[in-house]
Amino acid sequence: MERVLKSETQEIIHDNQEYTLFSWSKQKGTNPIAVKYGEGVYLYDYDGKRYIDFSSGLMNVNIGHGNQRITEAVVRQMQEVSYVTPSCITKVRGELGKKLAEICPGDLNKAFFTLCGASSIENAIKLARLYTGRHKILSRYQSYHGSSNGAMTASGDPRRLPVDSQQAPNFVHFDLPYLFRWEHGEESLLKDSVAQLERIIAYEGPNNIAAILLEGESGSSGCLKYPVGYLKQVRELCTKHGILLIMDEVMSGFGRTGKWFGFENHGIVPDMIAMAKGLTCGYLPFGCLMVSDKIASKYEDAVLPLGLTYSAHPVSCAAALETLKIYEDDNLVENASAMGKYMDQQVALLMQKHRSIGDWRNTGLLGCLELVKSKKTKEPMAPFNAKPDEMGVMNKVAAKIKELGMYTFVRWSYIFIAPPLCITKEQIDEGLTIVSKALEIADENISAADE
């Protein structure tokens, strides 16, 4: 029998689909891009097709793809030493700790290095409970904190629902609606949300609550902005009741929102910061839990019961240190802020053109379009936690985006727009032209009431 020869791309896709598992997906029917290399804001597949990456991978490749300064820093470190136990030290570990203390506000000066976002969150939860001697963790329904057991339970995101029976104890969620779907204005949203949180603290018993965990700016739940002043009031409630405030900066950290950290847009200082993604921009897996001197001082004369074989991995530390230098040398935090403003202006024009855009929420370059079937009723183009058969129009929009040469994250009725922070105005225009073309499909599905 004659063997049908596969192209290189087909072979790669076949091996991946046959021998590896895909996250958060039905295994049949995945349609991945086989990426050969990346450069700046672009990814290239094995057939030479170029994709503009409008979600920076998973909102982590903030410095852009293929930066050889990281490769060189990693190789240099590997030529010296690739691994030491966390009880040995390296020059790069200390340098990185010092640099992070410099960019973090207040007395957030002590770094515990982890492996990823979820392991930063797990250690934050564990440390908050140890430090306070309390057990409950409060977090927002509309949040994602990672897929390990504790982090997943802390997440209100429906990704936790298929593993509902495995949820960890002592997590309490609260609702925080967002302005687009709140009919009574921002002032009432702020008042109601704070009052609701106060009631939950009272019901759960303030002395039982170790920490409130919140994203610095909302990410994959749809960039649902905090009402202005909300985080300040949460900070005050935490201080009043001796509850620790943990900010999850895994997605919103490292320039993504036009500041080093998302919470800096809200004028607060937390007690701990969970970091990952933009710390190494995905060049190597890594994370960090930054804690205040006050918390760390408890463990001067007591054992700190946290540990990971790969904590402070020298090669990941080297990648992180070089990444931080790139942010500074290339003024990426400032560029995110400036390009974010340009993005807002250009999206405002798209909103005039496309009837299917219900809302645009963006801070720096962490943005999301919410598509609706009707501007009048605000019925979303796909419902919250949409099932595959409810994603018809959105799947067509996503397929068009990909066909036209863009990679980005499409979820329910959301199209995320969070490109690498090194993006230029011309590249924003190029990306939005693709989005606009794809939105024509959504516009055709506007309900008759809006005609």
Ligand X SMILES: Cc1ncc(COP(=O)(O)O)c(C=O)c1O
Interacting residue ranges for ligand X, rule: CB under 6 A: 58, 116-118, 121, 144-146, 215, 219-220, 248, 250-251, 276
Q: In the complex with ligand X, which residue's Cβ is closer, 146 or 419?
A: 146
Q: In the complex with ligand X, which residue's Cβ is closer, 253 or 340?
A: 253
Nearest residue to the partner ligand X, using Cβ: 117
| 357-363 sheet: strands from edge to edge | 357-363, 366-371, 414-417, 410-411
Nearest to 74 by CA among 314, 325, 310: 314
Q: Closest separation between CB of residue 249 and ligand X, Å?
A: 8
Q: Which element (helix H / strand E) includes 360?
A: strand 357-363
Q: Is 310 in contact with 267 (CB distance < 8 Å)?
A: no
Q: For residues 348 and 332, what is the distance between their CA atoms, to the nearest angstrom?
A: 24
> Across-strand partners of 53?
407
Q: In the complex with ligand X, which residue's Cβ is closer, 118 or 320?
A: 118
| 42-45 sheet: strands from edge to edge | 35-39, 42-45, 50-53, 406-407
Q: Closest separation between CB of residue 120 and ligand X, Å?
A: 7
Q: For residues 367 and 429, what is the distance between their CA atoms, to the nearest angstrom?
A: 15
Q: For residues 149 and 50, what is the distance between their CA atoms, to the nearest angstrom?
A: 37
Q: Which amino acid is residue 67, in one-letter code?
A: N
Residue positions counted in the chain: 451
Q: In the complex with ligand X, which residue's Cβ is closer, 117 or 270?
A: 117
Nearest to 417 by CA among 345, 364, 358, 366: 366
**DSSP3 helix / strand / coil % (the chain, rounded to 5):** 45, 15, 40
Q: For residues 198 and 202, what is the distance between their CA atoms, to the nearest angstrom?
A: 6
> Across-strand partners of 112?
289
Q: In the complex with ligand X, which residue's Cβ is closer, 60 or 77?
A: 60
Q: In the complex with ligand X, which residue's Cβ is closer, 58 or 338?
A: 58
Q: In the structure encoding, which two tokens stand for residue 259, read together?
A: 């500041």
Q: For residues 178 and 414, what is the distance between their CA atoms, to the nearest angstrom?
A: 14
Q: Is 140 in contact with 339 (CB distance < 8 Å)?
A: no
Q: In the complex with ligand X, which residue's Cβ is closer, 117 or 357?
A: 117
Q: In the complex with ligand X, which residue's Cβ is closer, 38 or 219?
A: 219
Q: In the structure encoding, which two tokens stand for residue 194, read together?
A: 């704070």
Q: Closest separation between CB of residue 116 and ligand X, Å?
A: 3
Q: Closest separation between CB of residue 248 and ligand X, Å?
A: 5
Q: In the complex with ligand X, which residue's Cβ is closer, 174 or 446?
A: 174
* CA atoms 223, 224, 229, 233: torsion sign: negative
Q: Closest separation between CB of residue 219 and ligand X, Å?
A: 5
Q: Closest separation between CB of residue 159 and ligand X, Å?
A: 10
Within a 10 A sphere around the Cβ of 131, how many other Cβ atoms?
Answer: 20
Nearest to 361 by CA among 223, 218, 246, 228: 223
- Reduce the DSSP state of residue 155 to 3 states and report it: coil
Q: Closest separation between CB of residue 57 and ligand X, Å?
A: 10
Q: Closest separation between CB of residue 272 and ligand X, Å?
A: 13
Q: Closest separation between CB of residue 251 and ligand X, Å?
A: 4
Q: In the complex with ligand X, which residue's Cβ is closer, 23 or 87?
A: 23
